[in-house]
Amino acid sequence: MNAKAPYMEGYLVGFSQVTETGRNKGHLANLPLAEVPEATPEAEMTERDQLLGEPMSIREVARLIGCSAWSVRQTLLPKGLPHWRSGPSGKLIFYRDQVVRWLLEQQERRNG
């Protein structure tokens, strides 16, 4: 077999008659190649998107605030940290600008 190490790019491993281009000359050569769709441009942010900000996971929110994900879940959610749950037992989704606004409001209330 002509194939080099399996981790090297451009080589197929486990097929006979492998060439350096990675194309098999055997019975698989006549199969069509998969077509990859072209990338679509990102949609412009709407006014609502700008109010919410980008979506974040609970870990990203914890990193933003400077605490643990446990603290976000156990202390900040009961205090009213805005979030969206994707289903009954689903993932929590937070929006960056909404979280930052809530934090600033909490600081203003505390410092009064």
pTM: 0.56
Angle between helices 96-111 and 58-65 (to 10 degrees): 40
Nearest CA-CA partner of 99 in 83, 79, 85:
83
- The tens-digit pLDDT sequence of the chain (112 residues) is 455 555 545 544 454 454 555 555 566 667 777 777 777 776 666 766 677 899 999 999 999 999 999 999 999 999 999 999 988 888 999 999 999 999 999 999 988 7
pLDDT of residue 55: 95
Beta bridge partners of 55: 95
Domains and CATH numbers, the chain: 1-28 (no CATH), 53-111 (1.10.10)
Tokens 């050569």 belong to 29
Q: CA 25 to CA 28: how far, in whole Å?
A: 7
